[in-house]
Amino acid sequence: MRNKLVSANKLITGLFCLLMSISSWAQVRPVILVLGDSLSAEYGLPRGTGWVSLLEEQLSVEKSPWTVFNASISGETSSGGLSRLPTLLNQKKPGIVLIELGANDALRGLPVNQTEANLRKMIQMSKKSGTKVLLCGIQIPSNYGQAYTTQFKKLYPQIANQEHVELLPFFLEGVATRPELFQADRLHPNVAAQSIIFKNVWGSMAPYSNLLKKIP
């Protein structure tokens, strides 16, 4: 009887240690935080088909310890992203933040300097927390006015250069000029476009390739 109790205790102890090990692994896995709008929130797409899901799949293929938390919300503006970021940084403690915001600012005709201030604050806040940043550039059609369109296009490279963060020059490169890659609303990329967007993002994450292979 005594031997059985000892064996049972050993088994329980072993299971406890295993569970603690799994729990610790889950807690230490580094996080990539995606802070975006409908372009990153799988708007109008079947679940699991967006570029963020493709990023998760790629990390799994690479056997990377990193995980992805998608905090993107359809309709989100740079102001909304800025207001949510402190809580996300505190709760998720990401090692990398991907910022894909600004398109809805343009759709609403918000001043470019307001978008700039919000993006800059988000980057500075992320860097202060020890997080690396990838800023995803957004460009808008010329029908918004040549001056506004040009200002918006220059905005992202300027911020990335001044804040010393990585930049994806144009998030929708290879997609924006191809109508067949958009949903019926002609605003949101369809499923076929997601692999192109993913490749744009993944290519811009090259400077972090060594980091993604290990726990920082």
Residue 127 has phi, psi (to 5 degrees) of -65, -40
Residue 121 has phi, psi (to 5 degrees) of -65, -40
Given a contact cutoff of 8 angstroms between Cβ atoms, the answer to whether 50 and 86 are in contact is no
Asked: is 30-213 a CATH 3.40.50.1110 domain? The reply is: yes
pTM: 0.87
Dump pLDDT digits (tens) for 119-170: 999 999 999 999 999 999 999 988 888 999 999 999 999 999 999 999 999 9
Dump pLDDT digits (tens) for 38-76: 999 999 999 999 999 999 999 999 999 999 999 999 999
Cα–Cα dist 80/85, whole Å = 9
* Residue numbers annotated as active site: 38, 185, 188
Domain boundaries, the chain: 30-213
DSSP annotation of 189:
B
